[in-house]
Amino acid sequence: MRRWPLRIKVGVYAAVLTAVTFIAASGALLVVIHFRQLGELDDELRGDATEIVRDLQNFRGAPVNPRHPLSGKYIRADLQDRQLMLTGPEGQMLYQSPNLGETSIEGPPGIREMMINGHHSRVGSFRIGDFTVHVGIDLSEIDRLPRDVMIALLLTMPLIALMVFAGGLWLGQKAVAPVARLSEAAERISVENLGERLPLPDANDEIARLTVVLNDAFARLQRSYEATARFSADASHQLKTPVAVLRSGLETMLDGDHIDAVGREEVDNLLRHLRRLTGLIEDLLLLARTDARKLLLQTEPFDLCELVELALDDLTTLMDDRLTIEQDFKRPLTVCADRRHVTMIVQNLIENAGKYTPDGGRICAVARELNGEIVFSVANTGPALSEADREGIFERFRRGSHVGEAQRGHGLGLNIARELARAHGGDLKLARSDGEWNEFVMTLPAGR
């Protein structure tokens, strides 16, 4: 039930709660009715005993001697169906109704329940004057009531539960409708439209309060995001000039002849680190522009196959026949995009494949048009990525757990590649990592 929609849960809870409440109320009502009926029966038994003795004492022709047996004619017609015994002062039997047969219902004064000829009966024994009256009544009707109620409950409960479930479902849908509208509005808020806010409900209730709180949180997030993007862009831009000055100065020193061999080696080492720093600054500046949605795309139609072939040629030269490189695409595959940025994506994917493919492995590049999109995939043989690496492979400054010094990098390449693909209306995903192949797939809108 945890994954059921809230409106379904409300309907189920309402139906279950109603059923439990109805059964409990019915049980309690049956108990009250049962004891109420027994009380009325007890009063009726006392009244019957009193009426019988009163008739014997007052009616004309009734026997005077309370020790003589009595005929059934002295018993009123409306009491003929009662289970009746009448005894005299010394306990001698004066009368026993035919429906008792040989069964005796004598007992101490009071009211009790007993089985008479297989029937559950309630019997009262009352001492009135010279007579002791034992009178009983069959409880079959009273005993039948709980059974009839249970049958009625079993027959009607499914219908009641269904009706309550439908009502609960309707109420649940009405209750969660404002939350559903908030969810739909919140899903539309993204980096592209950080200024959009949730619509404020008309009612001044808990949903309205939640909307206000969420809008305040979105406003704070927008300010924080924009401040971070501005800082990244400004910092990267401000770093470019001093780094360029340092690089120019070091290159001038390296070209001069006033430093010895040891100094030249040290300057050359500093230049290598400075080039890495320059690349990192360029990457950060590019990411800042994509985050702020200020990346300028100079789109033009071109054949993606040309970029792939050039990148594969460079990889073939670098690998020195260490790897087997395969390609499968039919020219032309035209895209309308920024050629420089798409080149960065392609080179990143192919260079990564070359870095992480063991000696003797294979790299396969495939490009095709499918459903109005250009699909470009790069797969390489190698060990499967760990679960943590698969989940965070596109995070910034994230490098795989098996990356060594030979594959140095800043951990920004895949993130930049995905952001550039998305900026063009496409995407980049890890499609496969099963221990045989690791495959990345880029999609871009096809150009016409």
Indicate if 383 and 337 belong to the same structural domain.
yes
In a domain, 158, yes or no: no
Q: Where are the alpha helices (DSSP H) in 127-260?
A: 140-188, 206-255
Six-digit token string for 436: 């045989």
Confidence of residue 441 (pLDDT cuts 50, 70, 90): very high
Indicate if 217 and 305 belong to the same structural domain.
no
Six-digit token string for 208: 């309205």
Indicate if 322 and 274 belong to the same structural domain.
no
* Phi and psi angles of residue 36, each rounded to the nearest 5 degrees, phi first: -65, -40
Cα angle value 341/342/345 (rounded, 5°): 95
The rounded distance, in Å, linking the Cα atoms of 103 and 123 is 13
Indicate if 315 and 422 belong to the same structural domain.
yes
In a domain, 159, yes or no: no
Indicate if 333 and 397 belong to the same structural domain.
yes
Domain CATH for 106: 3.30.450
Indicate if 305 and 368 belong to the same structural domain.
yes
Q: Is it true that the peptide bond before 332 is cis, omega within 30 degrees of 0?
A: yes
pLDDT tens by residue, 371-398: 888 899 999 998 888 888 887 888 877 7
Indicate if 105 and 231 belong to the same structural domain.
no
Q: What is the DSSP letter of 150?
A: H
In a domain, 160, yes or no: no
Indicate if 285 and 324 belong to the same structural domain.
no
Domain CATH for 366: 3.30.565.10
Residue 404 has a pLDDT of 47
What share of the chain in percent tops pLDDT 90?
Answer: 7
Indicate if 239 and 329 belong to the same structural domain.
no
Indicate if 322 and 354 belong to the same structural domain.
yes
Per-residue pLDDT at 286 exceeds 50? yes
Indicate if 285 and 352 belong to the same structural domain.
no
Contact 153, 23 (CB under 8 A): yes
Indicate if 370 and 397 belong to the same structural domain.
yes
Picking from 265, 291, 317, the residue at the C-terminal end of a domain is: 291
Contact 342, 424 (CB under 8 A): yes
* Domain limits for position 356: 299-445
* Phi and psi angles of residue 130, each rounded to the nearest 5 degrees, phi first: -85, -5
The rounded distance, in Å, linking the Cα atoms of 284 and 281 is 5
Quote the pTM value.
0.50
